[in-house]
Amino acid sequence: MKLTRRLLLSLALTGATSAGLSLSHAETVDWTAQAAKDAKEDRSSHPYDGIKPNSMVCDTTLRELPDGSWVLFILAGGDTEPSPLNYTGISRSTDQGKTWTPLEAFNVGFPREGDTMGQGPTEVLVNGNRTTLYFSTHAKHWNTNWHSWFIHSDDGCKTWSKPEPLPGRLALRTFIRPSIITKDGRIMLPFQHYIGPEAEQEKPPLERAFTNTRNGVLISSDGGKTWSEHGNIRLTEDDKYFGWAEPSIVELSDGRIAMVIRADKLGGVLYYAESKDGGKTWPEFATKTDIPNPGSKASLFSLGGDTVAMLHNPNPTHRSPLALWISFDGLKTWPYQRVLVPESSDGPKGRINYPDGFVSKDKQWLHFAYDDNRHRAVHYSAKLPPLGK
């Protein structure tokens, strides 16, 4: 955001009240000083560091299970992604990230051969006592027999149901991204889906060119028994455009659903779409923001009301640093900004990718994992600023 700190602070005052801050307190906040104070309490650990020729780390997904333990799912295997060597890895922690179990290959219910040779997780939904893993499979590459599935566990990820396909067209060429539970109890899953060029719509979906991303949400009002699909959001009119959209969503105080979308090679910024009716209808096209982004996943987290945290790479050309921004007015301004990880452990040319995690129940911490230059899974606990006074 190309705004002075004073202007950012003044713009934040109205929105700050939605986070539980009194206006008088918000006027006295020095966000730079607060960020420096918070940084002193951050902590991190390293659940896994891959070694070639089996070093891959991608799609790091950290969640807290119903018993309070943590589970980390990653796309592992081989040294590149996508690859037929990719598999889903799992590690656990019972002490809030201080120690981790050795990474193990997780059985998603399909053999790692043939059309399901390549496998990778994209979302882990914890809702009550049920944990649902959303994952995809392919035969060689995401452009080869890409199918998408989910499985359930009701015993803390010890045993799992048989794989079921995503509903409708989303069973093919779709990634499910981090979900939310809305204030009225609905489950909402953002998706990215590839329909191919308009001229190839008569072909079977898997035979079309691998282009033309569409974004939206799946909504369930009955705990995941049935789903409805909403949205068909585009980034560009070019139906030959390809990019990894990776949408992230958050619910705002008035029920609007805000979505940010990665937009590879479309100006070095994030794109934005919004549903004004709780996720039911969406615009045809997303719009540009002025939030710098190099073409990398950004993750939104609700902190209550219109207060929203975002993990992302605020750099239009490179996936570093990794930063935490907080908005108090529903993503309009971002007065709290701090760098969490200045650069990869491999140096300034390394990339910091795919931050994803959860907010602690007391809203004191944002716990997440990220991949450090595609070979190291890192857990990071970022201290959040006080949200009430």
pLDDT band at 45 (very low <50, low <70, confident <90, very high): very high
pLDDT of 149-194, one tens digit each?
A: 999 999 999 999 999 999 999 999 999 999 999 999 999 999 999 9
pLDDT band at 19 (very low <50, low <70, confident <90, very high): very low
pLDDT of residue 387: 84
Rounded average pLDDT over 75-101? 98
Rounded average pLDDT over 20-28? 47
On average, the pLDDT of the chain sits at 93
pLDDT of 101-114, one tens digit each?
A: 999 999 999 999 99
Question: 170 with 149: CB under 8 angstroms?
Answer: no
Fill in the DSSP letter of residue 170: G
Rounded average pLDDT over 209-218? 98
pLDDT of residue 29: 85
> How far, in Å, CA of 129 to CA of 179, rounded?
16
Name the residue with tokens 């048989």: 162
User: At residue 11, does pLDDT exceed 50?
Assistant: no
Tell me the pTM. Answer: 0.93
Rounded average pLDDT over 8-29? 44
pLDDT of residue 254: 96
pLDDT of residue 14: 38
The DSSP H or E segment spanning 312 is strand 308-312
pLDDT of 229-244, one tens digit each?
A: 999 999 999 999 999 9
CA end-to-end span of the chain: 27
User: At residue 1, does pLDDT exceed 80?
Assistant: no
Could you please report the per-residue DSSP string of 63-105? EE-TTS-EEEEEEESSSSSS-TT-EEEEEEESSTTSS-PPPEE
DSSP, collapsed to helix, strand or coil, labels residue 224 as coil
pLDDT of 371-388, one tens digit each?
A: 999 999 999 999 999 986
pLDDT of residue 333: 93
Number of helices followed by number of strands (H, E) in the chain: 3, 25
- Where residue 223 falls (left for φ over 0; alpha for ψ -120 to 50; beta otherwise) is left
Backbone CA torsion sign across 98, 40, 304, 177: negative
> How far, in Å, CA of 143 to CA of 153, rounded?
29
Over pLDDT 70: what percentage of the chain? 93
Nearest CA to 360 out of 41, 36, 121 is that of 41
Q: Which amino acid type is present at position 49?
A: D
pLDDT of residue 388: 65
pLDDT of residue 268: 98
> How far, in Å, CA of 94 to CA of 99, rounded?
8
> How far, in Å, CA of 250 to CA of 261, rounded?
12
pLDDT of 308-334, one tens digit each?
A: 999 999 999 999 999 999 999 999 999
User: At residue 46, does pLDDT exceed 50?
Assistant: yes
